[in-house]
Amino acid sequence: MGSGGSLLSFIVRRLLITIPLLILISFAVYSLVLIIPGNPALTLAGGIHSTPATVAKITRQLHLNEPYYRQYLRWLNGVIHGNLGDSLFNPGQSVASGIATRFPVTFTLAVGGMLLSVLIGVPAGIVAGMHSGSARDRLVTVGSSLGVAIPDFWLALLLVIWFAVDTHVLPALGFVAWSTSPWQWFEHLILPWIALGIGGSATIARQVRGALIDTLDQDYMRTAVAKGLSTRVVIGKHALKNALSPAVTIIGIQFGYLLGGTVIIEQIFSLPGIGQYVLQAISEKDLPVIQGVVLITAIAFVLINLIVDVLYGYLNPKIRLV
């Protein structure tokens, strides 16, 4: 079997592993009902205006009086059929539609932030790694240390003050759909992308730098240089392929984290993404929404990990044998 075949079987093996993983995740996600304190029926019944009869009625309506396993199976059955349930506090609005409305915002935010991280982090890491010990290396090292140390929310607030409040160059907050105005869409996302991307780029730069220095120190790299290969071929074809493997993992993990909802950044820039949605749901104990978002986020993480594994397998065929 050729390398393409073994890659395929590697993908199939990884996909099969995800099935029990997803079942486990679904069970853990539903168990949030048991972990999270509070009684949504009491809140829905009018809080301090509630009566025991109303609370009991709403408890029955929500099936909260049923055994835990039955509630789980009912929910799982819905999930399998694509029904994540309805928001408790927004009657008539399905969780699926709530996520579908907000996911594009978070996805756009995550992709933009990640792209910026990669576009800054990878070249910076390569330059620093290729010129280890030089002024350029020190510049990247200091810059990336700062980038890692600065919290994204603090950077976000500074950006708002500089570019929105003081100079009025960019909007302070809000989201405009691409379909409404592509330019305004871009304008409203620049600051959030920068706030999210700087920290990620610093991490990636440090990772790429370290991996590249290690790789360049390998015997096969010295052989390649001794054979008279150009620097471009040595770095581009031989060194980077190995040096980027750990960076791919970092990128994957960061992207998964961003897809889960960048709560604080969404809050600061008033972006209607998944983070805002789940934050509101947590404060209200809107369990179907919390469960839906956590489940979708977990699935996204699993899929991203799968993609990372496949990329890893492509970059390093030895991994496919594991």
Partner 1 sequence: MAVVALGNGGAGASPSNDNPNGILKYGFDINNEFTNFDPGTSVNDCGYTVMSNIYQSVTAPGQYAISGGVAQSWTVSNNSSTVTLHIRPNMVFSNGAPVTAADVEASLANTEKSPLRSSLSAIENMNATNPDTLVIQLNRPTAGDFLWAMTYIDGMVYPASSIANAATDPIGAGPFMLKSYQPGSSIDLVKNPKYWDSAAYPLGGVDFVEVGTGPQAVSAITSGAVDMISLDPQQYTEVEHDPNIGTAITQSYDYTVLETRNNAAPFNNVKVRAALEYAIDRAAINKVVYAGVGRPAYQPFPPDSPGYNKSVGNKYVYEPKKAKAMLAAAGFTKAVPVQLMVPSGDTTFQRLATIIQSEMDASGFSVNITLIPGADLLEDVYLKKEGSALLSEDLTNGPDISNTFEALFEASGFPAQYLGTEDLAVAPEVEAANASLSPSLQGPLMQKVGATVMAQGLETPIEFEPSIIAYNKSVVGGKVVAPIGQCRSDLAGIYVKK
Q: Which residues bind partner 1 (CB under 8 A)?
A: 37-39, 42-50, 54, 58, 89-93, 98, 101-102, 157, 160-161, 164-165, 168, 171-175, 177, 267-268, 270-272, 276-277, 279-280, 282-285
Question: Which letter does DSSP use for residue 150 in this model?
Answer: S
- Shortest gap between Cβ of 166 and partner 1 (angstroms)? 9
Spell out the residues 6+ positions from residue 304 whose beta carbon is closer than 8 angstroms to its own: 252, 255, 256, 259
- Shortest gap between Cβ of 177 and partner 1 (angstroms)? 8
Q: Are 188 and 171 in contact (CB under 8 A)?
A: yes
- Shortest gap between Cβ of 292 and partner 1 (angstroms)? 15
- Shortest gap between Cβ of 291 and partner 1 (angstroms)? 16
User: Pick from 11, 5, 9, 3: which is nearest to 309 by CA?
Assistant: 11
**174 vs 236, beta carbon nearer partner 1:** 174
**16 vs 169, beta carbon nearer partner 1:** 169
**38 vs 317, beta carbon nearer partner 1:** 38
Question: What gap in Å lies between CA 170 and CA 190, rounded to an integer?
Answer: 8
DSSP β-bridge partners for residue 86: 94
**106 vs 297, beta carbon nearer partner 1:** 106
**10 vs 175, beta carbon nearer partner 1:** 175
Question: What gap in Å lies between CA 143 and CA 154, rounded to an integer?
Answer: 17
The answer to whether the Cα torsion of 168, 169, 173, 179 is positive or negative is: positive
**129 vs 171, beta carbon nearer partner 1:** 171
Instruction: Say whether 251 sits in a helix, a strand or coil.
Output: helix
User: Pick from 214, 220, 296: which is nearest to 247 by CA?
Assistant: 214
Q: Are 109 and 265 in contact (CB under 8 A)?
A: yes
- Shortest gap between Cβ of 45 and partner 1 (angstroms)? 5
- Shortest gap between Cβ of 253 and partner 1 (angstroms)? 27
User: Which residue do the tokens 């819905």 mark?
Assistant: 78
